[in-house]
Structure 1
Amino acid sequence: MRIGLAFRAFFKAMFDREAAERMALALDGENPVPAISHTPEKPQPAPEKKPAAPAQNPAITLLATLQREARLIDLIHEDLDQYQDAQVGAAARPCLKQCRQSLDRMLKIEKLVDAKENESIPVSSDASPARYRWVGESSAASGQAKLVHPGWQATATDLPKWSGVPEDADVIAPAQITAT
Structure 2
Amino acid sequence: MRLGLALRAFWKALFEPKVAERVALALDGPGSLGAGSAAPEVAAEQKPVVAAKPKSAQSEAIALLAALQRDARFVDLIQEDLDRFSDEQIGAAARPCLKACRQTLDRLVAIKPLVDAADGDVIAVDETASAARVRWVGESSGASQAKLVRKGWEATKVQLPAWSGSDDDAKVISPNQVEAV
Same fold (TM over 0.5): yes
Q: How far apart are 1:53 and its partner, in Å? A: 7.0
How does 1:90-129 map onto structure 2 within 5 Å?
A: 90-129=92-131
Measured on the aligned residues, the alpha-carbon RMSD in Å equals: 2.5
How does 1:80-95 map onto structure 2 within 5 Å?
A: 80-95=82-97
- Deviation track 1:22-41 (CA, whole Å, cap 9, x = no partner) reads xxxxxxxxxxxxxxxxx57x
- Deviation track 1:133-173 (CA, whole Å, cap 9, x = no partner) reads 0012223x231111111210001111112210111100000
How does 1:168-179 map onto structure 2 within 5 Å?
A: 168-179=169-180
Structure 1: state its 5+ residue gaps. Answer: 1-38
Query: Greater RCO between the two (CA within 8 Å, min separation 6)?
Result: 1
> Residue type of the partner of 1:155?
T
TM-score (norm 1): 0.69
Q: How far apart are 1:65 and its partner, in Å? A: 0.6
Name the larger-Rg structure: 2
Q: Is 2:177 aligned against 1:148?
A: no
Taking every aligned residue pair, what percent have the same amino acid on both sides? 56
How does 1:16-55 map onto structure 2 within 5 Å?
A: 39=1, 54-55=56-57
Q: Number of aligned residue pairs: give it.
A: 136
Structure 2: state its 5+ residue gaps. Answer: 6-48
Distance 1:123 1:132 in 2: 8
The 1:161/1:86 distance shift into structure 2, 3 A limit, reads same
Partner of 1:69: 71
Q: How far apart are 1:114 and its partner, in Å? A: 1.2
TM-score (norm 2): 0.68
